[in-house]
Structure 1
Amino acid sequence: MMIRLAKKEDIPQLIKMRWDFTIEHDESKKIASFLEFETECRQFLEEALQGNQWFIWVAEEQNKILSHIYIELIRKVPRPGRITFPFAYMTNVYTLKEYRNKGIGGKLLSTINDWSKQSNYEFIMVWPSDDSISFYKKHGYTHCIEPMEYNPHLV
């Protein structure tokens, strides 16, 4: 198994995995147009892979992506008197069903944890599902105070 950053050739697999991940957690989305989703997701992934804001990590075996984790780098406004390091937002953590509970996601997450230390990121933030809390705790993550949010579409 190889753990690496995603590349352009991975886009079709990443699109399919994102679709499957969404449907697995919300079957009502099956009625959505795959073609529309594919177009939007392809554009996002092409831009993400060319930029330096998103880092998409994959675990692959024989050219098949088994697991992925998306990291968005968030730069902070500098403060006087201290060096300001960015933090990372982790999202879209997914392992194919048939490869779960085999340590693949854990190896991928450990790689990202090491990378974040080497890169001097201040912290990694993730909103885990109830089912994944123990997975993150096992890899050194702790609960923090929940952030607040504003949703302009609900006001």
Structure 2
Amino acid sequence: MKVRLAQETDIDQLIKMRWDFTLEDYPEMGERTEYSTFQKECGDFLKEAIVSGDWFIWIAENDGRILSHIYIELLKKVPRPGRITHPFAYMTNVYTVPEYRGQGVGSKLLSKVDEWAADMKYEFIIVWPSETSIEFYGRNGYTHCEEPMEKHF
């Protein structure tokens, strides 16, 4: 298994994985959306994300097949006097294909992301886990923090 950052050549697989990931929890979404429409929107997003460097999409692959992925967006903080200001990382879209779950693939990928974030001196990684993923993050050293506030529009 190889862990690396995604490239433009990975986009088709990443689109299909995002589709599958969504339909796994929300099957009705597939009934309301044409795959080709989603493919265009997601493809445009991924091309921009990879080229711009605004997102870091980490993948675990085996023989050219992506088995797992983690999306990281960096959020820059306003500088504060008296200390060096480092960005923090927002982690989302963490997914391992079903037949590779429970084999350590996701944990190996997450470990690489953690190592990378520490090397880059990011202040912290934040993730909003689903009910089913809380145990996964806990096994990998993540802890609950105070809930952020939000306002819906």
TM-score range, shorter chain: over 0.9
Equivalent in the alignment of 1:7: 7
Instruction: Confirm or deny: 8 A CA contact 1:86 1:122 kept in the other structure.
Output: yes
* 1:1-33, Cα deviation, whole Å (9 max, x unpaired): 000000010000000000000000101101111
1:38-117 matches, within 5 Å, as: 38-117=39-118
Instruction: Confirm or deny: 8 A CA contact 1:53 1:73 kept in the other structure.
Output: yes
Equivalent in the alignment of 1:24: 24
Distance 2:54 2:75 in 1: 7
Moved more, 125-134 or 58-67: 125-134
Q: Report the TM-score when normalising by structure 1.
A: 0.97
What CA RMSD, in Å, does the superposition of the two structures yield over aligned residues? 0.6
1:99 CA drift (Å): 0.6
AA aligned to 1:92 is: N
**Superposition misfits of 4+ residues, deviation over 2 angstroms:** none
Equivalent position SS for 2:20: helix
* 1:25-77, Cα deviation, whole Å (9 max, x unpaired): 10110111111111000000000000122000000000000000000010111
Aligned pairs, how many? 152
1:138 CA drift (Å): 1.1
Equivalent position SS for 2:30: helix
* 1:78-119, Cα deviation, whole Å (9 max, x unpaired): 111111000000000000001100000000000000001000
Matched, 1:125 2:126: yes
AA aligned to 1:115 is: W
Distance 1:68 1:149 in 2: 27
Distance 2:11 2:96 in 1: 16
Q: Report the TM-score when normalising by structure 2.
A: 0.98
Distance 2:141 2:97 in 1: 23
AA aligned to 2:13 is: Q
Q: Which runs of 5+ in 2 are unaligned?
A: none
Equivalent position SS for 2:12: helix
